[in-house]
Chain A
Amino acid sequence: MTSLNIIKAVNAGLRRSMENDAKVLVMGEDVGKLGGVFRVTDGLQKDFGEDRVIDTPLAESGIIGTAVGLALRGYRPVCEIQFDGFVFPGYDQIVNQVAKMHFRSGGRLRMPIVIRIPFGGAIGAVEHHSESPEAYFAHTPGLKVVTCSNPLDAYWMIQQAIELDDPVVFFEPKGRYYTKGEVDLDGEPDLPLESARVALPGTDATVVAYGPTVKTCLDAAAAAADDGRSLEVIDLRTLSPLDLRAVYDSVRRTGRLVVVHEAQRTLGIGAEVAARVTEQCFYSLEAPVQRVTGYDTPYPPARVEEEYLPDLDRVLDAVDRTFAY
């Protein structure tokens, strides 16, 4: 076992994928000598060379568009988008080209591209550095969208994403980048990429989260336990396709569901989870599904982000509401 934070875990995963498959490339702004602004690609260019770890021009559409061409030529590009808010210049290429190529070619052409995006807030940043744009991508057929919440998942999920022949948007919770965890670098992943995980078993209410809010919810569950209430916390891990089997199972036992994400509420992942749980678990629900999310405003100035972001108290407050019916 090795103790790693999420940055080092993604780095180790990238390294292993590059060792295993000479077609895997890393490309993005400042990913070479600098090792990326968060150092996720630290040391890769030194070891794999400039042809495989490519410092690109500063143009996101170009990063994704050239990755499409490289994939058509048989490569497996892993693109880094430096910050969540900077993905939008590349949005057209992702949504119109990457996502649709397999479909429109009748399955002849594959797009084994991974687009890594550090996302989420709580880092005191300026505008466009704290966004949670996952729903835009989860809404697009042809893309797979996943996110890790801890170093172990980060290490395995990045490798599984790279091995997949479908394009994957890989969200990394930058606010949790320095969270440490134990990783067995030589082990095997215990879950397929497209599956949720019960992060904490419980009996009284179900709390669903992903990425940065998983830790928030685990903390909330610890606090609730002190008050004698047992929360089951589920880490979605995959946002497209959604894997809600564990959620249905849990809600059928608890009858209460709270969904937690940093992204804005309206038409967010929580809305889809609520709709599906209503379809599948209608007779089990004791209360309406509650959502604890960012508000429907642009991401605010950093000095008020604490009030904007879901925290332990807001999660517990929502859990209380599910018991009020």
Chain B
Amino acid sequence: MTVETAAGATSPEPELVQLLTPEGQRVPNERYDALVADITGDDVRSMYRDLVLGRRVDGEAVALQRQGELGLWASLLGQEAAQVGSARAMRPQDHVFPTYREHAVALCRGVDPLHLLALFRGVDQGGWDTVGSNFHLYTIVIGAQTLHATGYAMGIQRDGAIGTGDPDRDAAVVAYFGDGATSQGDVNEAFIWASVVNAPVVFFCQNNQWAISEPLERQTRVPLYRRAAGFGFPGVRVDGNDVLACLAVTREALQRARDGEGPTLVEAFTYRMGAHTTTDDPTRYRLNAELEHWKLKDPIERVKAYMVRGDLADQAFFDAVEEEAEELAVHLRAACRALPDPTPTSIFDHVYVEPTPGLVAQREEMSAYLDSFAEEVAR
């Protein structure tokens, strides 16, 4: 499972950390059971709610794109457990650097999903409060944010916010990225950097098997989590469709980081059940049978099965969550359509902290040009 620095990459078949089977059976795990021993029925129900809401927001966004309300959407379908499990492992002071697909993480960090819709609608490029939510803006250039995460973690080190033992003070950073990103120079530089400065950062790779049309074997010849050994920090592969296991593994990695023990690579082994984005057509490059196979491992169904099995929830609970999800979707649909377009001259507002004389002149130029049409209409 975990490859420690000195041990190197040895295991022939990578093992997944799994606490819930696809059938919803809780399997004991000597190492990770303790990390979720405090999880109550309430916690499970609350995680289930996040999973369902995350999927519903995503589905609504896909529909809005199909209706022309969004320019694009990158669906998280199938990756809900990896996102909710890891996000629920965080403390408020931990900081997140997402890709453009971390919608369920955003939800868990208290970011209003309307902000995500606004971005993909083309209203703005990220309008949420990154400081209050500790959830940074989406990063679209693949892997660039792993370096930002590492630098932010270096800042945490300089602020003396690791290893004090104070659970409200010690902080860590989570950098999200995908399997394709592991081929980027930036990701590899981030691994090197975090390793040599022992930065409090968790590299959370959602290996969803596909980088648009390119399968995992185009990116790597070894299981991704094993790469960590070469950089000098632990790597672990977790069942990315198992919310409990993702919670346990991320909790462990975050605590290591907060304690000053440095970075960890978590490879959440999951599957992108939808297209890369709404412009993509997966039927051109992968077989439907693969999707059918992964549907059996659905991240939400297994929690539901686990809850039913353990009598953690009744039908009234599941109905209530569905209802809440539907209400959220209805609200988002209307709110998204009501989002006002930015005023054209607002593009000049934040190029610099203070607008330069040249930009002031260009804003006036645009304004005068646009006004000339208004005058024509008036005539």
CB within 8 Å of B: which residues of A?
Answer: 51, 56-57, 59, 61-62, 64-75, 89, 92-93, 96-97, 101-110, 141-142, 144, 164-166, 194, 241-242
> Are B144 and A97 in contact (CB-based, < 8 A)?
yes
Minimum C-beta distance from A271 to chain B (A)? 16
Q: What residues on B are CB-neighbors of A96 within 8 Å?
A: 141, 144
If A57-B192, A61-B189, A65-B189 touch, whether A106 touches B350 (CB-CB below 8 Å) is yes
> Are B351 and A70 in contact (CB-based, < 8 A)?
no
Chain B 139-158 per-residue mask, 1 if CB under 8 angstroms from chain A, else 0: 10100101111111111111
Q: Which of B147, B150, B356 is close to A241, meaning CB atoms less than 8 Å apart?
A: B356
A-B contact count (CB 8 A): 130
Known: A62-B189, A66-B147, A102-B350. 17 other contacts (CB 8 A): A56-B193, A57-B192, A65-B147, A65-B148, A66-B154, A67-B151, A69-B151, A70-B155, A72-B130, A97-B139, A97-B148, A103-B351, A104-B124, A105-B125, A106-B126, A109-B137, A142-B351
Q: What residues on A are CB-neighbors of B126 within 8 Å?
A: 104-106
Counting contact residues on chain B (CB < 8 A from A), the size range is: 35 or more
Q: What residues on A are CB-neighbors of B131 within 8 Å?
A: 108
CB within 8 Å of A: which residues of B?
Answer: 97, 124-127, 129-131, 136-137, 139, 141, 144, 146-159, 185-186, 189-190, 192-193, 196, 349-353, 356-358
* Measured CA separation A74–B155 after assembly (Å): 8
* Measured CA separation A242–B359 after assembly (Å): 11
Minimum C-beta distance from B232 to chain A (A)? 12
* Measured CA separation A51–B160 after assembly (Å): 11
Instruction: Report which residue of B97, B127, B352, B357 has the largest number of chain A beta carbons within 10 angstroms of its beta carbon.
Output: B352
* Measured CA separation A68–B151 after assembly (Å): 7
- A111 closest partner in B (C-beta): B353
- 15 contacts across the A-B interface (CB closer than 8 A): A57-B193, A59-B192, A64-B147, A69-B154, A70-B155, A72-B152, A74-B155, A92-B141, A102-B353, A103-B350, A103-B351, A105-B126, A166-B353, A194-B356, A242-B358
Q: What residues on A are CB-neighbors of B124 within 8 Å?
A: 104, 106
Q: Which of B148, B192, B196 is close to A69, meaning CB atoms less than 8 Å apart?
A: B148
If A102-B350, A109-B130, A142-B351 touch, whether A69 touches B144 (CB-CB below 8 Å) is no
Q: Which of A56, A103, A106, A242 is close to B127, meaning CB atoms less than 8 Å apart?
A: A106
